[in-house]
Every structure is written in structure tokens, then in C-alpha cells.
């Protein structure tokens, strides 16, 4: 009986620690995005799939030896040589870990420390007669996934999209690679589709 209780508390502790680390990644990501664009006022309520950042990163990794000018699916920002801290083996482990994570997560205000965003649904965003749409018209919005964190808690991937509320053009879709540096998650690389012009 003692072993059973010990195992139960151990699982609960690990789950809480993992959730805390995810929240830290998300909030460090939000702070960095807000610094780049202080007009971010809206977050879509439905989190993107965790498989999206893995797929983006995996495509970029597979296309790493394709020369510039050739058709790349996903490319890192900046100039070569590129660093690939998540290799094929680690990518397979992460895909296996998150493959059953199919329950859609809906963001809540408590997920974000600061700043406070208005969390809206896609239906509210697309409704032109909606009071929320009118209030936040021309503001920047974010849609993003929950983070994918490596097993050593050193790197994290997040897929995100930036859009304009009431705008008729799409935003940029990117995956960012973050590194845990002294307890803070810093963006070290961004991956995007070079064939899409925004």
C-alpha cells in the first residue's frame, strides 16, 4: 500500500513539474513576442496541435543539405552554418511522446502571467458584426501550440501564427526553437516556409 501511494505522489509531482515548465516556456515566449509587437491584444482560444512544431522542425532538418535556390519546404532564419540541437532520434522520441496528445487544449487567462490578452474563438474572430472584433480591430493576435519540450528540458519548440484582427491577409506561420538558459527560455532559431509570401 505504501508503494502504491508513493508511486501516485511521484506521478503527481512529475506531472505538476512538467506543467510548470510548460507554463514557463509559454510565458517566456509571450514576453518575447510582446516585446517585438506591443500591439498583441488577442489570443485564439484553441491551442494548435503539438505535432505542428515537430513537423516544421523535422522538415527543416530533412532539408538542411538542400542548397539555397532549390525548393526547401521549411528553412531556418539567419545564415548557415545551422545548429541542430534536436536530432532525428530525439525527434522520434518526442513524436512518440506526443502522438496521443489529441485532446484540444483551450487557453485560459491563468495560463498567462502578463500581459493580459482577450481570449477569443475563431468564430468570434471571423464575425465582422461581433463587438469583440470591432473593439480589437487592427490589433495583432496570436495563435500558438503548447510547447514540445525535450526530455532533458533543455530545448522547446512552439508553433505560432500572427494575424491582424479584422484583416484579410494571413499572418506568418513559424516554429521557434527555444533554449533554457539559466532558467529562462530564449528563442535561438525560427523556422518558416520560404515559399509563402505574407
Q: What whole-number distance in Å separates Cα of residue 124 and Cα of residue 41?
A: 14
Q: What is the DSSP string of 144-189?
A: EBPPEE-TTSSEEEEEEEEEETT-SS---EEEEEEEEETTEEEEEE
Of 132, 144, 134, 136, residue with least CA distance to 172: 144
80: in domain: yes
Q: Please say if the pLDDT value at position 175 is more than 90.
A: yes
CB-based contact 66:186 (threshold 8 Å): no
Helix (H) or strand (E) holding 140: strand 140-144
15: in domain: no
Q: Please say if the pLDDT value at position 77 is more than 60.
A: yes
Of 95, 117, 94, 119, residue with least CA distance to 105: 119
Rounded to two decimals, the pTM is 0.83
Q: Residue 170: its pLDDT value, please?
A: 62
Q: What is the pLDDT of residues 81-119, one digit of tens each?
A: 888 999 889 999 999 998 888 889 999 988 887 667 889
103: in domain: yes
Q: Residue 172: its pLDDT value, please?
A: 79
93: in domain: yes
DSSP 8-state assignment for residue 193: -
Domain count, the chain: 1
Q: Residue 139: its pLDDT value, please?
A: 85
Structural domain boundaries enclosing 88? 21-192
2: in domain: no
SS3 112: coil
Amino acid at each position: 500500500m505504501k508503494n502504491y501511494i508513493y508511486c501516485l505522489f511521484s506521478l503527481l509531482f512529475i506531472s505538476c513539474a512538467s506543467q510548470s515548465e510548460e507554463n514557463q516556456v509559454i510565458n517566456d515566449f509571450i514576453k518575447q513576442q510582446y516585446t517585438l509587437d506591443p500591439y498583441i491584444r488577442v489570443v485564439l482560444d484553441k491551442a494548435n496541435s503539438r505535432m505542428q512544431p515537430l513537423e516544421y522542425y523535422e522538415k527543416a532538418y530533412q532539408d538542411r543539405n538542400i542548397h539555397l535556390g532549390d525548393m526547401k519546404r521549411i528553412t531556418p532564419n539567419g545564415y548557415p552554418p545551422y545548429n541542430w540541437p534536436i536530432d532525428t532520434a530525439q525527434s522520434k522520441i518526442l513524436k512518440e511522446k506526443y502522438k496521443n496528445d489529441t485532446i484540444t487544449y483551450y487557453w485560459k487567462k491563468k495560463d498567462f502571467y502578463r500581459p493580459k490578452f482577450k481570449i477569443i474563438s475563431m468564430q468570434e474572430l471571423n464575425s465582422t458584426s461581433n463587438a469583440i472584433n470591432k473593439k480589437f480591430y487592427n490589433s495583432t493576435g496570436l495563435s500558438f501550440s503548447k510547447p514540445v519540450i525535450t526530455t532533458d528540458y533543455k530545448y522547446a519548440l512552439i508553433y505560432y501564427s500572427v494575424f491582424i484582427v479584422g484583416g484579410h491577409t494571413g499572418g506568418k506561420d513559424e516554429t521557434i526553437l527555444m533554449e533554457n538558459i539559466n532558467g529562462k527560455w530564449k528563442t535561438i532559431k525560427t523556422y518558416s516556409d520560404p515559399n509563402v509570401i505574407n
